[in-house]
């Protein structure tokens, strides 16, 4: 059984005042689904201390364990601050920081060495979807970004079509199901049925309280990676509740 996961990516949003939002998720976070918030690095340690039953993650880490990398943060530092997860390969990092699959794979190795679980993001652009290349792109990103040694504990994969992030546009449930079934079969083929079936697959891209339940009903969708709607408990709690209901 894969435990459902509601993951929030706060991106570059939030100062200490925002920590109250995590506290307000306490009751929803006591349900069947695991609840993860990835705040800016400045808030990780305090978010961990919040004790709301919400697990905390980083949004990126360096591929090296330490060294002369001004402004970067290592997986060990996140772990030391109390994080248990790190998001890697988000399309905003792939675009803004020119991150490619081999760098994402090296970062994932570093995260695993530090004892963090990785939420690894893949997703196609609108041009790639229009050219009917979606599955090739996703297959290539999975092959290139995930190191050997994946398990159901150290890896979560998030399918995030770039054109759906922050746009209010959402793929049809058939389109989501097609990609999630494809990712499941690729993971089973590479890592064996046991591991392949145990890795959780999240959908991400404009998930809101109004569309969460129908997305969570799609085959091989084990939860969501949520950006904008994870910033306020009033938006994220109904999404967590929908996921808890889907686990019944
Ligand atoms: C994201 O950035 O991971 C994301 C899914 O954003 P949003 O929910 O705002 O589309």
Model confidence at 101: pLDDT above 90: yes
pLDDT for position 78: 98
Q: Which residue has the higher pLDDT, 31 or 50?
A: 31
The pLDDT value recorded for residue 100 is 97
Mutate to test the pocket of ligand 1, among 12, 204, 221 (most ligand atoms within 8 A of CB): 204
Q: What is the pLDDT of residue 51?
A: 79
pLDDT of residue 50: 84
Q: Is the pLDDT of residue 91 over 90?
A: yes
Instruction: Name the catalytic one among 34, 62, 76, 90.
Output: 90
Q: Give helix 134-145 / helix 101-114 axis angle, nearest 10°.
A: 40
3-state secondary structure of 57: strand
pLDDT in tens, 103-151: 999 999 999 999 999 999 999 999 999 999 999 999 999 999 999 999 9
- Strand-pair partners of 157: 120, 201
Ligand 1 pocket, 225 CB below 6 A? yes
Q: pLDDT grade, residue 52 (50/70/90)?
A: confident
What's 166's DSSP letter?
A: T
Which pLDDT does position 4 carry in this prediction? 98
Of residues 76, 92, 99, 160, which has the active-site annotation? 160
Ordered alpha helix ranges (H), the chain: 19-23, 44-48, 75-81, 91-96, 101-114, 126-130, 134-145, 173-191, 193-198, 212-216, 233-246
**What sign does the CA torsion over 45, 46, 51, 55 have?**
negative
Cβ atoms of 35 and 242 within 8 Å: the answer is no
Which residue segment(s) compose the domain that 232 sits in?
5-247
State the Cα–Cα distance between residues 37 and 9, nearest whole angstrom.
6
Whether the Cβ atoms of residue 55 and residue 25 lie closer than 8 Å to each other: no
Q: What is the pTM assigned to this prediction?
A: 0.97
The pLDDT value recorded for residue 207 is 98
91 CB near ligand 1 (under 6 Å)? no
Which residue, 42, 73, 39, is CA-closest to 55? 39
Q: Is 160 a catalytic residue?
A: yes
Cβ pair 14, 39 in contact under 8 A: yes
Tokens read off for 132 = 């009917």
DSSP per residue over 79-147, as a string? Answer: HHHT--EEEES-HHHHHHS---HHHHHHHHHHHHHHT-EEEEEE---HHHHHTT-HHHHHHHHHHHHSP
CATH number at residue 124: 3.20.20.70
Closest to 11 (Cα-Cα) out of 90, 69, 64: 90
How many domains in the chain? 1
State residue 196's pLDDT score. 98
Kindly report, residue by residue over 187-228, the tens digit of the pLDDT.
999 999 999 999 999 999 999 999 999 999 999 999 999 999
Q: What is the mean pLDDT of the chain?
A: 97
Active site residue 188: no
């Amino acid at each position: 059984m894969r435990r459902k996961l509601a993951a929030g990516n706060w991106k570059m949003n939030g100062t200490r005042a925002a920590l109250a939002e995590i506290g307000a998720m306490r009751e929803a976070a006591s349900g069947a689904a695991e609840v993860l918030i990835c705040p800016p690095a400045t808030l990780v340690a305090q978010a961990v201390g919040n004790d709301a039953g919400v697990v905390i993650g980083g949004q990126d880490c360096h591929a090296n364990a330490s060294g002369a990398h001004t402004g970067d943060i290592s997986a060990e530092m996140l772990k030391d601050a109390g994080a248990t997860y790190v998001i890697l390969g988000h399309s905003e990092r792939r675009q803004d920081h020119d991150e490619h699959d081999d760098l994402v794979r090296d970062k994932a190795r570093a995260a695993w060495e530090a004892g963090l679980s990785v939420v690894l993001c893949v997703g196609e652009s609108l041009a790639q979807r229009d050219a009917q290349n979606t599955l090739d792109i996703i297959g290539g990103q999975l092959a290139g970004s995930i190191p050997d040694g994946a398990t159901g504990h150290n890896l979560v994969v998030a399918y995030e079509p770039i054109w759906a992030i922050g746009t209010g546009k959402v793929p049809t449930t058939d389109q989501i199901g097609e990609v999630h079934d494809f990712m499941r079969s690729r993971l089973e083929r590479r890592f064996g049925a046991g591991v392949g079936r145990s890795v959780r697959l999240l959908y991400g891209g404009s998930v809101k309280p109004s569309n969460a339940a129908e997305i969570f009903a799609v085959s091989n969708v084990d939860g969501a990676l949520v950006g904008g709607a994870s910033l306020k408990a009033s938006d994220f709690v109904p999404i967590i509740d929908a996921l808890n209901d889907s686990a019944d």
